[in-house]
Amino acid sequence: MSDIWRSNPGGQSLYLIWADWEPVKKAPPCAGNEQQYDGHCFVIVPEVDEAIRSWSLLGFTTTAIVYGTPAWARGNRPCQFGIYCVPNDAADFGRFAGMLARRYNGLNGHGRMADFVLDREVGNIRYFDIGCGLGPCDQFEWLDLIAENYNAAFDAVAVEQSTARVMTSIDNKFASSFDDAAHGQLSGMTVLMGVANRAAGRAWRVSINAYNKPEAAGFSYGDYPYVTLGNIGILVGWLRQKFPDAPQLRSVQLTEQGLPGRPALESQQSEYLCDGFHNALGTPGVESFIYYRMQDQAGDSNQLGLRRLDASAKPSWSTWADANRVDLDPALLSCGFQYIPYTLLTLGYDAARGSIATTRILPAGYAVTKSWYLYRSEEPGTIMVYECHIGSKSFLTTRHTCDNEFPYGPVGRVFRDPRPFHVPLYTCYNGEFADHFVSSEVDCGGPPSTMLALLGYVRPA
């Protein structure tokens, strides 16, 4: 573990499976290795207990991924995916989450968990089995059950830790075109709208498992209708567009993502991991990036680990471990960490497709023509800028609505007023080629281009 801690990871995630902690329904008195909570006894696994305590002592956070229905708590529905079956009573699931929130509240000598992901990829029947087989499944019943489970656990956690961040979990199938409830899939959009409509005032939050598209070795800017590490800004931008009055939804957590690392792909795995860091850091609102997993496991055909089965390091291990070495003198920073506290806005151009201005990695074929620094976090006197799309065309705006066009996510904050060492940033339009771009020249380079608006003031790169 010491080599992980030295790499300034920030935190860890732990998969806390309810079926392991409460394999049988047992009332007090509880044994010495059990935790009593709300009239139930929960088994404490020493290794897990110590992992949470140790990480907390070092100042690192632990994200709890809470799922896994025990046999005694399921069975009213004819489900087939074992611990992924929905519980008969959501209150039982809520009790487990509440127990974790109390034991690991930072006040009892066991460390603290303040981030809770409730269930896993709830739009996939294999991970949230509502008992309809592989179909037909009823979309509204499915959403009701997601919300019942989420709300029960949210409330139980909130009683124990009022400031805890409690998230639902979606997979990478984001666009509503993926909706196929009859065959066991709900899109991320549908899940999140369903949770929102049933949250009843709760400050619900979002996590995503942003894996690659099926069978893809990597990711790209053009992965939509999937949301991957290549276009993660879409999720953040969509939440801001749809829920402008929910400040907790201006941030998301990437709680599980892995990249194929088979022998033939080891170099690519390292390169894509670096690009993934760049895109996450280039997207204000992305709060965490948890890689899955540290080491290959037998039976994993994709070999996602940063280390091989024999524990030897792949190239991706160095990428992960050395990208953010702020503890060294001089600091060793790469993969986007070198720009903090800024994001790097790049203007790219392709003769056949026009211009794109983004803080994410540009699509293949685009050449960088200009770059600027924007602020990643809020600064007095700044306003957020958003990347938006009209079809395949990209434009920037300070309006979170994207003028009702498709959001590609925030890119950073600009100053409203002039300040030293900063230059203006304008949005421009080339009418001849129907091309939007940005420039620090007030005339946008002259005809046929015209200046549309001043975004604000930024640092030149």
Taking residues 4-19, what's their average pLDDT?
85
pLDDT at 9: 78
Tens of pLDDT, residue by residue over 46-86, are 999 999 999 999 888 899 999 999 999 999 999 999 999 99
193 has a pLDDT exceeding 70: yes
HEC string of the chain equals: CHHHHCCCCCEEEEEEEHHHHCCCCCCCCCCCCEEEECCEEEECCHHHHHHHHHHHHCCCEEEEEEECCCHHHCCCCCCCCHHHECCCCHHHHHHHHHHHHHHCECCCCCCECCEEEECCCCCECCCCECCCCCCCCCHHHHHHHHHHHHHHHHHHHHHHCCCCEEEEEECCECCHHHCEHHHCECCHHHHHHHHHHHCCCCCCEEEECCCCCCCCCCCCCCCCCECCCCCCHHHHHHHHHHCCCCHHHHCEEEEEECCCCCHHHHHHHHHHHHHHHHHHHCCCCEEEEEECCCECCCCCCCCCCCECCCCCECHHHHHHHHCEECCCCCCEECCCHHHCCEEEEEEEEECCCEEEEECCCCCCCCEEEEEEEEECCCCCCEEEEEEEEECCEEEEECCCCHHHCEEEEEEEEEECCCCCCCEEEEEEEECCCCEEEEECCCCCCCCCEEEEEEEEEEEEC
Residue 1 has pLDDT above 70, yes or no: no
Q: Is the pLDDT of residue 6 over 80?
A: no
- Pick 334 or 61 by higher pLDDT: 334
Tell me the average pLDDT across 23-31: 98
What residue ranges define each of the domains in the chain, with the CATH number in brackets?
Answer: 1-329 (3.20.20.80), 341-460 (no CATH)
For 381-434, write each residue's pLDDT tens digit: 999 999 999 988 899 999 999 999 999 999 999 999 999 999 999 999 999 999
The pLDDT of residue 135: 67
pLDDT at 134: 64
Per-residue pLDDT, averaged over 334-341, amounts to 98
306 class by beta-carbon count within 10 Å (0-12 exposed, 13-18 middle, 19+ buried): buried
Token pair of 225 as six digits: 């209708």
Confidence check: pLDDT of 27 > 60? yes
Statement: residue 3 has pLDDT above 90: no
* pLDDT on residue 417: 98
Burial label for 301, CB within 10 Å (0-12, 13-18, 19+), is exposed
Q: Could you tell me what percent of the chain has a pLDDT over 90?
A: 92
| pLDDT at res. 391 | 81
Spatial contact of 291 and 306, defined as CB atoms under 8 Å apart: yes
**Mean pLDDT of the region 265-284:** 98
